Amino acid sequence: LFIKHQQYIGSTMGTRQDMLDILQLVKQDKLRPIVDKAFPLTEIVTAHKHLEAGNQFGKVILEFDS
């Protein structure tokens, strides 16, 4: 961030307490993200085309091999 003169800017969509409340719900397994599709990292181009098509409902994720 420093060398490229970039900035990290946080979200203004809620308060710190809102974030803590949401994290608590995730921890309690009461809130889960909606995942449209998962792609292996090797298919990143296909994943990007899927996003560009705009047909996803939920998150599109990349999976890394461990």
The whole-angstrom separation of Cα 12 and Cα 9 is 9
- What is the per-residue pLDDT for 8? 72
pTM above the 0.85 mark?
no
Find residue 60's DSSP bridge partners: 37
What H or E segment, with its residue span, contains residue 59?
strand 59-63
pLDDT tens readout for residues 28-66 = 999 888 999 999 999 999 999 999 999 899 999 999 986
DSSP code, position 5: T
